Amino acid sequence: MIPIDKSIEHLNDDYEYGFKDDVKPIYSTGDGLTEDIVREISAQKHEPKWMLDIRLRAFKIFKKLPMPDFGPDLSDLDLSKIRYFQRATDSVSRSWDDVPDDIKNTFERIGVPEAERKYLAGAEAQYESEAVYANIKKEFAEMGIIFCDTDTALQEHPDLVKEYFGKLVTPQMNKFAALNTAVWSGGVFLYVPKGVHAKIPIQAFFRINAGRTGQFERTLIIVDEDASVNYVEGCTAPSYSEDSLHAADVEVFVKKNAFCRYTTIQNWSDNVYSLETKRASADENATMEWVDGNLGSKVTMKYPSIDLNGPYANGTMLSIAFASGDIFQDTGCIMRHHAPHTSSNVVSKSICKDGGICNYRGTIRMIDKAHYSKSHIECDTIIMDDDSLSDTIPHNDINNGDSEIEHEAKVSKISETDLYYLMSRGLSESQATKMIIMGFIEPFSNQLPMEYAMELNKLIDYQMEDSVG
């Protein structure tokens, strides 16, 4: 997660946000998952029957679908030992002062209230399974923007939720999309009305505290015609010997002439499996941008997608992945060109060291009606030692003869010439290496607000410690 310029006095020696909180849930469904637990989650939230029906259908699909047969080995992930729903508080606070002290202290150490005051139009904080705080500044609420946790949206805006929920991410897509649909809890609901421009970022913060915890937030973002929004989210968890699971589903609808940028900075500890399904649609002349940073986690499998459904729709994916030690980052994106004159641009940056693995796995699909469309894919990796691995695994499916696609991939080590040049000007080898890495990720960090880019650089610097022997 990206905190805002906090001191390092609270950080442990192994993982920057690995502190543990002595917060006991007020309610938990315990280990494992059954149909009765799915029903209990829905009953605890006082949901309408139609949502329970969605959950139960998804649970049946979840049980039938196999684990992914590609990418990282998930055989050590024991789904029977995960706690699928844990409630930390009995309500969502609209005032920061009303958040329970122990939980408030956690987010203050991460930087939530300071970020909200200085840089954000609205903020939400989720702890374990549910939101504990959600607020949007008065001037943005008066513009008609709806920003709350998805549980609250289901109670207060059921027609909107019913219209969009599950329309892009369906249980049939994969086992973990089905699991999320069955047990989802929390997440963000964001609606930006026609013609409204949220010029200041809106942010959500997700925290897993206990071991063997599952976090299954469900996020719905609707950007109506001629509107725009910049949404940012960040995630952390303490270090445990027990594995936890983060399996979010995200659906983003970008209407005609609208713009959405969705930025994720995940800095999970190395006991978290991050297995997410994210999908967006872009209508005529709309722009959807994914900006995706993955630092940490035991395993990450994440391939945000964009359906370019209207003429002149544009999709962008800009990502960075950092893997060290036993971390396996299997990330990428999917661009589906469904209309003429659509365009997509993919830039993937990855760094691996000390035996870490970074893969880019991507798909570009242009149907026969997507005439005169264009796509550019650029994958760059720096491998810092002989023990680390990286693969680029593209799949390009072009079904017409007048579209253009460009794909380039480059894997390299730190340039000895660049090192020599920098060291000849007084830098140590470690300083020179870090400078080269910072230049390598600059296309990514340049897309972040200044405060977040500074913190990303600090996280990268932290990951780079002792990288030069």
DSSP states along 213-282: BEE--EEEEEE-TT-EEEEEEEEE----SS-EEE--EEEEEE-TT-EEEEEEEE---TTEEEE-EEEEEE
pLDDT per residue over 280-319, tens digit each? Answer: 999 999 999 999 988 878 999 999 999 999 999 999 999 9
Q: How far is CA 267 from each of CA 10, 119, 317, rounded to the nearest angstrom?
A: 16, 20, 19
Q: How far apart are CA 120 and CA 54, in angstroms?
A: 34
The dihedral through the CA atoms of 119, 122, 127, 132 has a sign that is positive
H or E segment to which residue 320 belongs: strand 314-324
What is the reported pLDDT for 206? Answer: 66
Question: Would you kindly state where each structural domain of the chain is located, as residue ranges?
Answer: 27-302, 416-469
Instruction: Give the chain's radius of gyration (CA, Å).
Output: 21
Amino acid, single-letter form, for residue 437 = I
Q: Which residues of the chain have pLDDT under 70?
A: 1-27, 88-137, 206-212, 235-242, 448-469
pLDDT per residue over 144-164, tens digit each? Answer: 999 888 999 999 999 999 999
What is the reported pLDDT for 464? Answer: 63
Three-point CA angle 399, 402, 403, nearest 5°: 70
3-state secondary structure of 314: strand
pLDDT per residue over 19-49, tens digit each? Answer: 344 445 556 777 899 999 999 999 999 999 9
Closest C-alpha among 232, 203, 16, 207 to residue 113: 203
What is the reported pLDDT for 456? Answer: 66
What is the reported pLDDT for 434? Answer: 75
DSSP state, 438?
Answer: H
What is the reported pLDDT for 419? Answer: 79
**pTM metric for this prediction:** 0.85
What is the reported pLDDT for 210? Answer: 53
The dihedral through the CA atoms of 170, 273, 73, 329 has a sign that is positive
Q: How far apart are CA 323 and CA 244, in angstroms?
A: 18
Closest C-alpha among 333, 330, 405 to residue 366: 405
Q: Which residue has the tokens 């027990």?
A: 242
What is the reported pLDDT for 336? Answer: 98
Q: How far is CA 330 from each of CA 295, 304, 322, 414, rounded to the nearest angstrom?
A: 12, 12, 11, 22
What is the reported pLDDT for 355? Answer: 93
| Residue 67 token pair | 């684990």
Q: How far is CA 423 from each of CA 318, 426, 430, 443, 461, rounded to the nearest angstrom?
A: 31, 5, 9, 24, 18
What is the reported pLDDT for 18? Answer: 42
What is the reported pLDDT for 417? Answer: 81
DSSP state, 31?
Answer: B
Amino acid, single-letter form, for residue 275 = L
What is the reported pLDDT for 199? Answer: 80
Determine contact, residues 300/321, Cβ cutoff 8 Å: yes
What is the reported pLDDT for 38? Answer: 97
H or E segment to which residue 428 belongs: none
